[in-house]
Amino acid sequence: MKMELRNIEKSFGQKKVLENVSFSAEGGRALGFLGRNGAGKTTAIRIIMGIFLQDSGQVLVDGAPIAQSTARIGYMPEERGLYPKKKIWEQIVYIGELRGLTAPQSKKRAEFLLDKLEASEYIDKRLDTLSKGNQQKIQLAIALIHDPEIVILDEPFSGLDPINAAILKRTVEELVGYGKIVMFSSHQMGYVEEFCRDICILDKGAIVLSGDLDQIKKSYPRSRIRVVPAGVPEAFRERLKTAPFSNILEDVTEERGAFFLKLRAAKDKRALLAALSDFDVDSFLVLEPTLEEIFLEKAGNQNEAV
């Protein structure tokens, strides 16, 4: 299954919010949908869900316009929208019925999901008696109640402790493994980098970068090297100040016994290896940019979006 946004345009009054937005998300490959606050992510998500109508462009699923009446989309919003005074099972069953399930089907599905999320003990509790992390798990269960084909998760790990984060991570991995289309919107770049094979960065309503994350990283110059010497760090540090190292290194930093070397040119890796042949080296690693560094480069050095 494949979902595509093609040339989506959206304005509110005189303000253009989305401009020629095109990207795709494939089943079995989680997409990290990224952008600063106000970049247009929520508007794009609401267009996918049929809450907003685009001014122009198309949302396609497997090449055909998305049918909002039959599309199974599960959405976990950043701002939770459940009823604090209602019992958990009542809310899940109600939402399940709205999604086309019978009450018994919804109850059975709720029991299955809550067990998977290690939240079965809360099924008869009121929502407002639960911690924020457990409320988040209930919100996810409701998003998945109708076994959606497209799953959109907006800041799903916000405020979770490590144990609940691990449970949620396992669930996301299963969704991807089942071939679901998973869109993952978050400012926590570590989680996005862990789950997402593809990314799409939106800035001020326009796509500034999209594609396979591994390929994007490989497109950057391979000029940063991490070296851990086996010998005395002081001797290694002093040697880096002399030729031939001084001829090929632009910058050197050190952290906990590891040296981070910035080459003047990526092609100098071979010369660096040759220069290191006189040393006993425990580790030599070419560093790729992190997703956070890529995001800051593409969307972090401009005026705040509104």
Per-residue model confidence (pLDDT) at position 306: 28
* Cβ-contact 260, 253 below 8 angstroms: yes
- Tell me the two tokens of residue 30: 């989680």
Per-residue pLDDT tens over the stretch 89-123: 999 999 999 999 999 999 999 999 999 999 999 99
In angstroms, the Cα distances linking 137 to 2, 76, 184, 235 are: 27, 10, 16, 53
What span, in angstroms and rounded, lies between the C-alpha atoms of 24 and 111? 33
Per-residue pLDDT tens over the stretch 18-49: 999 999 999 999 999 999 999 999 999 999 99
Per-residue pLDDT tens over the stretch 67-90: 988 889 999 988 777 888 999 999
Question: 244 falls in which pLDDT band (50, 70, 90)?
Answer: very high
> How many alpha carbons fall within 13 Å on the CB side of residue 254?
10
pTM: 0.87
Is the confidence at residue 302, as pLDDT, over 60? Answer: no
Domain ranges of the chain: 2-217, 221-287
Mean pLDDT of 50-76: 94
Q: What is the CATH number of domain 2-217?
A: 3.40.50.300
Per-residue model confidence (pLDDT) at position 81: 76
Is the confidence at residue 241, as pLDDT, over 70? Answer: yes
* Cβ-contact 227, 259 below 8 angstroms: yes
The pLDDT > 70 percentage for the chain reads 98
Average pLDDT, the chain: 92
Highest-scoring range by mean pLDDT, 6-10, 165-169, 195-199: 6-10
- Phi, psi for residue 209 in degrees, rounded to 5: -165, 140
Per-residue model confidence (pLDDT) at position 301: 62
Is the confidence at residue 9, as pLDDT, over 70? Answer: yes
- Tell me the two tokens of residue 79: 């701002």
Q: What's the CATH class of domain 221-287? A: alpha beta
The pLDDT > 90 percentage for the chain reads 77
Is the confidence at residue 292, as pLDDT, over 90? Answer: yes
